[in-house]
Structure 1
Amino acid sequence: MTVYTRYIINSMVVALAATMLFSCKNNFNEVQQIGVLQNAPIGEADTIHLKHTDSSKLIADLKSPKMFDYSNRPFGYSEFPKGIELTIFDKEGNPSKIFADYAISYLNTDLIDLRGNVLLATYTKDSLFTTQMYYDQKNEWVFTNEDYRLKKGYTDISGRGFDSSRNFKTYEMHEPSGPIEFNN
């Protein structure tokens, strides 16, 4: 190989390396934004009032000041970061109300994860208070593994872990604790 050929090859390598060095730009902010856009909700709603009916009969009534829709995810969900007020009606039209400071409704499983000051109140004035509760919409079943307080009729019961139908007709207390009070 001649000196001239070597000179041309070396010049091309240097030119290529210089071009590559100067063509790079700092796009770290753009790379960060890719993840943000993929994690963003597909929809956002303020002050929602959603009514669910079946055969022109009101089944559920949901109110919330804020909702984020993540149904674009593989395991879709709706998030209610400022809490919910959910009224569920039984076959006779009797309401049960659920209040929570925060909620996530999972679309594939029909499960609602309620957190914060959670209260379930039935039309018979029975109430369950807890910090976290799950509501299975399909089976109309509520459960928690957290501490709870149940006020049913004249009784006031506390404990940890509770499973129940949403109207407390069938329920199981896992670890009742403290005295059971009967109010007159």
Structure 2
Amino acid sequence: MKKIMKIFMKNIAIIGLIAMFFSCTNTKKEVQDFLADKNLPIAIGKNIYHVYKDSGKITSKLVTPILHDFTNRKEHPYNEFPNGIKIITYENKGKDSITITGDYALTYNKTRISEIKENVVILNHNEKSKLETNQLFWDQEEKYFFTEDGFRLTTTTDTINGYGFESKQDLTKWIAKDITGQILTKE
């Protein structure tokens, strides 16, 4: 009799737990809204290595130790990379590549504009040019970089320092503002 009573009480406890579990459900939208109100990410990724492809060809790679996903925001969904980011882009069948690194980054999903901060370095491996700055904005749609912060552009022949810089993503056709340094010209 004691054994039957013990089994009966155990079954009642299990049924009670199951009922409590199902009575406390929230919809996906309710959870996302709660996380957005508390300014919490809906996902956190660690040691991310993401490969982007277009028509079966690798166009870029993204490497980051931490990714915070805030795409649950209605107005401005974004991703945050608080511990740095490294992006390698491939153009011209992989012959031309650009490496972008920085200690912190934000990428806004609607506008496809990224802000990369602190120890930002862009390397054009084919042209052997390098841009260093502390803050950079990257328009991924237009494949365009710009900053109003101080910068150093190093090419095979020149080193240019200044404040304010714009260029195509491959560091060609650039505009430098308020510059100092030695520049070789053809004339």
**Separation of aligned partners in 2, 1:35 and 1:42:** 7
**Separation of aligned partners in 2, 1:143 and 1:155:** 20
3-state SS of paired residue (1:39): coil
Shift of 1:91: 3.0
**Equivalences for 1:115-154 in 2 at 5 Å?**
115-123=117-125, 124-154=127-157
Q: Which runs of 5+ in 1 are unaligned?
A: 1-33
**Separation of aligned partners in 1, 2:149 and 2:107:** 19
CA change 1:58–1:180 in 2 (3 A) is same
**Equivalences for 1:36-75 in 2 at 5 Å?**
38-74=38-74, 75=76
Aligned equivalent of 1:172, options 154, 161, 175: 175
Higher gyration radius (CA): 1
Using structure 1 for the length normalisation, give the TM-score: 0.76
Which one-letter code corresponds to 1:41 in the other structure? P
**Separation of aligned partners in 2, 1:54 and 1:143:** 25
Shift of 1:118: 0.2
3-state SS of paired residue (2:92): coil
Shift of 1:100: 0.1
Aligned equivalent of 2:103, options 101, 104, 111: 101
Which one-letter code corresponds to 1:61 in the other structure? K
**Separation of aligned partners in 2, 1:173 and 1:78:** 29
**Backbone CA RMSD of aligned residues:** 1.6
CA change 1:36–1:108 in 2 (3 A) is closer
Which one-letter code corresponds to 1:92 in the other structure? K
Identical counterparts, % of pairs:
28
Match of 1:19 in 2: none
Shift of 1:39: 1.2
3-state SS of paired residue (1:40): coil
Aligned equivalent of 1:159, options 159, 162, 166: 162
3-state SS of paired residue (1:138): coil
User: Which segment is superposed worse, 167-176 or 79-88?
Assistant: 167-176
Structure 1 residue runs of 4+, over 6 Å off? none
**Equivalences for 1:6-85 in 2 at 5 Å?**
38-74=38-74, 75-85=76-86
Instruction: Name the count of aligned residue pairs.
Output: 148
Shift of 1:59: 0.8
Shift of 1:36: 7.8
* Alpha-carbon displacement from aligned partner over 1:121-171 (angstroms, at most 9, x marks no partner): 001220000000011111110010000000012100000000000112211
Which one-letter code corresponds to 1:40 in the other structure? L
